Amino acid sequence: MRFTVDTTSAIPIYAQLITEMKHAIAAGLLRAGDALPSLRELAGELRVNPLTVARAYRELEALGIITTGHGRGSFISAGAADLGEAYRREALAEAVERLLVEAYHLGATPAEIRTLVEARLQILQGEEPVPHGSRD
């Protein structure tokens, strides 16, 4: 698993790492027991201060997402799946909220929103979208 951060973002790097790890767990890319890179390894890869990675790891440990042992390294905790699912629902709800607010400001009707979402889902699933108005 490769992590990325945006050093030009207003969001602190440690917070970006926390979000990336939560997202990776929610997406099933990281699972309970998976080893994480060492602090120095990840800091070198991202070209950030090791203290920044250490802060992210400390907060992830406080949240129960990872476990860390001296000489053992850091691993995704057994309870991370539940936390990942909660994060997944929260992230999806926030994305839907952003979509609905934007659609509202653009004057979209609920029917338009549903049609667009269904068409995009069909495309993502590799299906040909059903043309608007051709449903029974």
Residue 89: its pLDDT value, please?
86
Q: Where are the domains of the chain?
A: 13-81, 106-136
Please report which helix (H) or strand (E) contains residue 112, including its range: helix 110-124
Mention the CATH class of domain 13-81. mainly alpha
Q: What are 7-59's pLDDT values in tens digits?
A: 999 999 999 999 999 999 988 899 999 999 999 999 999 999 999 999 999 99
Distance of alpha carbon 89 from alpha carbon 64, whole angstroms: 18
Average pLDDT (104-129) is 89
